[in-house]
Amino acid sequence: MHDDGALVEKRIDRFVRERLRPAVHRASVPLRVDAWSVTDAPVPFSEAVRQSYTAFGTGRAWGRPWGTTWFHVTGTVPAEWAGEAGTRVELVVDLGFSRATPGFQAEGLVWTPDGIILKAVEPRNRSVPLRARPGGQVDLYIEAAANPDVTSGFTFVATDQGDPATAGTDQIYRLKRVDLALRDEAVWQLSQDFWTLTGLMRELPVGLARRAEIRRALESCIDAMDPDDVAGTAGLGRAALAAVLARPANASAHRLHAVGHVHIDSAWLWPVRETVRKVARTFSNVLSLMEENPDFAFAASSAQQYAWLKEHYPELFARVKAQVAAGRFVPVGGMWVESDTNMPGGEALARQFVTGKRFFIEEFGVEPLEVWLPDSFGYSAALPQIMVAAGSRWFLTQKTSWNETNLMPHHTFRWEGIDGTQIFTHFPPVDTYNAQLSGEEPARAERQYAEKGAANTSLVPFGWGDGGGGPTEEMIAAARRTASLGGSPTVELSTPRRFFEAAEAEYPEPPVWSGELYLEFHRGTYTSQARTKRGNCRSEHLLREAELWACAASVSSGAEYPYDALEQAWQTVLLQQFHDILPGSSIAWVHQEAERNYAAVADALTTLIEVSARQMCGAGDGAVTLNAGPFPSEAYQGWGVARRPRRMPSAPRRHPAPRCAARPPASCSTTASWPSRSTLTGSSPPLVDLAAARELMPRGARGNLLQLHRDTPTQWDAWDIDEHYKRNTVDLSAAESVEVFADAPEQVGVRVTRTFGSSRLVERITLAAGSPAIDLHLEIDWHEKQKLLKLAFPLDLHADRAASEIQFGHVFRATHTNTSWDAARFETVAHRWVHVGEPGYGVAVANDSTYGHDIGRSTGPDGRTRTTVRLSLLRAEVFPDPAADQGRHELRVSLRVGAGIPEAVAEGYRLNRPLRTVDGVSAARVEHLIEVDNPAVVVEAVKLAEDRSGDLIVRLYEAHGSRARARVIRHFEATDVTETDLLERPLAAGAATLSADGPALALELRPFQLVTLRFARP
């Protein structure tokens, strides 16, 4: 037989394009359109409906960028449609849609005159089924959002449209169509047959008989139909396809659980306020689909998005709530938002679950057990413990399939975290969280599935996502056709829970992946939008302070605990940890708003702290210095959370006590000349640990070296740092001025000013007598473009691996590039500190603002191994925010010599939770609230219980990576203590060994163990 396969497939495409699709509507009539444009921010329906509308026809331009136009559409359903059998009346709208996918351009929401939302109109989902009968009236409102497409087809071209101040006022859309239309059901069904079968055909191997069989069937269908009377011959066409559609799936076919889903980015190429409307649009689409498809269930994450719906769209929220109760609308994830997991601190990541699950439980009586993070940029090795501690059982993502270098070997596995906790995890092999579910994607999922032979079930999340939209009736129609279809995996409309239960039962002993799920991609997100990063970091630490002192005030003086104010601050911080805000990958608008919100959070929390201090200490003319850190400070011996020096652990320490270091000025003859002008402008400065008699700076190397790199990513500018950045480096060693200063008798330093490009940097280098740390304070006025600024510390150390702080612990990563996995980690994330060392000696580098690092090893000209720690300070990418990071920045960095992991942990807290002095009080000190007698056990949070019972919650963790015994001593009245999960519910069998003896509680923790204690108060 001659092979005409390629030609036949082309013929099929053309038939669909030119004959089938245009015949879906038998007839249509235009509606009358009147319009009213909102001048500023969106308004509620009740306000829009009261405005006066002016006549507006199709073909006219509408919508300045980010503007809203309300269209009032009216008309009559033609009486002659009464006799048309097998049809459906629908509203068809084209707001001027482009070829871009839904969610990245104009979108509309259709309302009835009494304020009920029907459904959204979006590209690729333009129709709204109507109940109006022939001869009946149609009267509807369309709230049309003129969201600009800032993507330019994701060519990463700089755009001004991401900021309303620069987006211009030209109207960017042209209304194309507002019609009543009569849909031919048989033609529509035939279209779905074609879509499913052509998708499957294309994904099947060329040589497979089934592929040819489908092709021939489609060809016969076209032959049987009259191209000039598609509607009249659709029945013939469907009959020609009946046999090929009836062919059942193979007995060993892969089993797919298709879960209706939407991934709505809480902000990204649109501001938060637009996401509120995106949620309403998508959820209304879903409710409309549920009416027609009783077996269709839908999963959506992010308590924040449901909370927006509750606040802004109560009627829609009530309908969602009813479907949640029916088990069809399934809240998943349990987090407040789909947050980044690289950068949020331990307590913040815990609160994502605490706050999210609390919302779902209180509003719906439902606790999501599956953690749902399809799109975050890599997954912290602390997550398994946090997820399990929050009561979750399963984890889903697929983002690591985006790795540039290495393919993850598993699709279903147990993921093990730093403390040994494991969680059942699934990566959908379909490799998208926005599946359209034609025949093509299920077949691809089967082909890629890595567990073949051992297991045979996977999940496919379907629905337009990122910018919203969700599932469509076409996707459900495809699922029905692939329920059992030869050549395709079987597709079952399902829920995440049904999938996970089936997958776990089928595969009880899956392989284990230990440690972080590092994304070999998007490595710039640890650094981009530095002010957003700093805002998050500072807010997290302020929240700890505010909660601690509010607790102390409540316990000591009966002051009212500011539940609402703290909750509001937390919700803002948690929202901004969303995986395009904190990572710095949003438009300018989002980051400007984030910075304003962080400033407001800082104001509110600072006020709370001061109020608490006055409640604890009484009003007066004095001042009190507060230490909210978990370790005592030499400068101040009273603290809220403290340890008793006399109860320091008896176990031998790996390193001697902190030592005099780095040429302390007060005790060394080099005081006046340290560091000399020459050391700062060129030659190698000395860095000597006097106590260890150890020169730390490699010969010929410069420490504290600022390096400017070309930073022009191949794609995804704000997201990516590509390895080629390293090939273009300028050392910023020249100084404009160097001034020596003395702040205090025992604290001196130098102030160095450097200018480069269009930027200026002032660095204060301070060294206190006896301190093992050099403190750097940097103020940078940054006006570069597409440059990466790094700060390097080459060290004469032979470190095989580097430790980086993550949530409730740290991870080790290789300093070499032996394997492709090590090599791909050329830029990594760390929280407050990183540590490099040899057995018995090490150095910690801490900072208070940024997260990006690279730590590598090389051999110097003298043949000695040197380990170089570099921090990524600033970037200046041009997409999606063309002015990203321009302007002023401030951060602190410290280098601590002679540090083991315990000293690194302490250094991180010292830099991030400095002492605070509050004026206007009478007492000069506050009493301890909680003491812990082992520095390995760190109190991370002290708060009152979420249920507002007044119980006191203490969250602590083992920070050194070793087994630890500790006594926790309380200085407040308590009637009982229990170990709980993160949601403060008692654990049936506490993970920690716990025994109480009066106010002292003995704990035994495994490495990195996280423990939540709940103290009942009288």
Q: Which residues are catalytic?
A: 375
Tokens representing 331?
Answer: 């809240």
Rounded Cα distance between 23 and 188, Å, is 8
Tell which positions 78-137 bind Zn ion, by CB under 5 A. none
Among 90, 107, 265, 775, binds Zn ion (CB under 5 A): 265
- Nearer CB in complex with Zn ion: 271/749: 271
Q: How does DSSP assign 687-755, residue by residue? A: -EETTTTEE-SPTT--SSEEEEEE---SS-TTT---GGGGGSEEE----SEEEEEEEETTEEEEEEEEE
CB atoms within 10 A of CB 843: 26
Shortest distance, CB of residue 1005 to Zn ion, whole angstroms? 35
- Nearer CB in complex with Zn ion: 580/805: 580
Shortest distance, CB of residue 579 to Zn ion, whole angstroms? 6
Nearest to 404 by CA among 823, 931, 962, 23: 823
Rounded Cα distance between 778 and 800, Å, is 30
Shortest distance, CB of residue 263 to Zn ion, whole angstroms? 6
- Nearer CB in complex with Zn ion: 303/767: 303
**x-marked contacts with Zn ion along 357-376 as a string, rule CB under 5 A:** ------------------x-
Nearest to 959 by CA among 542, 630, 651: 630
- Nearer CB in complex with Zn ion: 172/460: 460
- Nearer CB in complex with Zn ion: 305/554: 305
Buried-state track 166-189, b at ≥16 Cβ within 10 A, e below 16: ebeeebbbebebbbbbbbbebbbb
Shortest distance, CB of residue 287 to Zn ion, whole angstroms? 23
Rounded Cα distance between 832 and 398, Å, is 28
Shortest distance, CB of residue 525 to Zn ion, whole angstroms? 12
- Nearer CB in complex with Zn ion: 372/808: 372
DSSP β-ladder status, 865-874 and 852-859: antiparallel
Shortest distance, CB of residue 444 to Zn ion, whole angstroms? 21
Q: Which H or E run contains 979?
A: strand 976-980
Pair 900, 837: CB distance under 8 Å: yes
Shortest distance, CB of residue 237 to Zn ion, whole angstroms? 40
Size of the site for Zn ion (CB under 5 A): 2
Helix (H, G, I), strand (E, B) or coil at 965: strand
Three-state SS for 90-150 is EEEEECCCCCCCCCCCCEEEEECCCCCEEEEEECCECEEECCCCCCCEEEEEEEEECCCCC
- Nearer CB in complex with Zn ion: 265/827: 265
- Nearer CB in complex with Zn ion: 255/591: 591
Rounded Cα distance between 644 and 661, Å, is 26
Question: Which stretch, 218-226, 265-273, 488-496, 877-885, contacts Zn ion (CB under 5 A)?
Answer: 265-273
Phi, psi values for residue 450, rounded to 5°: -90, -10
Nearest to 715 by CA among 878, 473, 825, 557: 878
Tokens representing 5?
Answer: 């396969």
Helix (H, G, I), strand (E, B) or coil at 415: strand
Beta strand extents in 18-106 (DSSP E only): 25-30, 32-38, 54-55, 61-62, 68-76, 87-94
Shortest distance, CB of residue 163 to Zn ion, whole angstroms? 21
Rounded Cα distance between 503 and 101, Å, is 32
- Nearer CB in complex with Zn ion: 265/958: 265
- Nearer CB in complex with Zn ion: 331/772: 331
Three-state SS for 148-202 is CCCCCCCCCCCCCCCCCCCCCCCCCEECCEEEEEEEEHHHHHHHHHHHHHHHHHH
Question: Which stretch, 248-256, 264-272, 481-489, 558-566, contacts Zn ion (CB under 5 A)?
Answer: 264-272
Could you tell me the end-to-end alpha-carbon distance of the chain, in angstroms, rounded to an integer? 89
Shortest distance, CB of residue 654 to Zn ion, whole angstroms? 42
With CB atoms as reference, the residue minimizing the distance to Zn ion is: 375
Tokens representing 464?
Answer: 């337009």
Shortest distance, CB of residue 78 to Zn ion, whole angstroms? 44
Question: Which stretch, 260-268, 661-669, 761-769, 1010-1018, contacts Zn ion (CB under 5 A)?
Answer: 260-268
Shortest distance, CB of residue 245 to Zn ion, whole angstroms? 35
- Nearer CB in complex with Zn ion: 238/263: 263
Shortest distance, CB of residue 373 to Zn ion, whole angstroms? 9
DSSP state, 466?
A: B
Angle between helices 5-15 and 185-203 (to 10 degrees): 150
What is the Rg, in whole angstroms, of the alpha carbon atoms belonging to the chain?
31
Q: Which amino acid is at 255?
A: R
Tell which positions 749-808 bind Zn ion, by CB under 5 A. none
Contact status: 340 vs Zn ion (CB under 5 A): no
Question: Which stretch, 103-111, 229-237, 262-270, 685-693, contacts Zn ion (CB under 5 A)?
Answer: 262-270
Bridge partners (DSSP) listed for residue 986: 980
- Nearer CB in complex with Zn ion: 519/901: 519
Bridge partners (DSSP) listed for residue 1007: none
Tell which positions 373-392 bind Zn ion, by CB under 5 A. 375
DSSP β-ladder status, 952-958 and 1010-1016: antiparallel
DSSP state, 935?
A: T
User: What sign does the dihedral 573-577-581-582 (CA atoms) show?
Assistant: positive
Shortest distance, CB of residue 402 to Zn ion, whole angstroms? 12
Rounded Cα distance between 548 and 928, Å, is 11
Task: Catalog residues that contact Zn ion under the rule CB under 5 A.
Answer: 265, 375
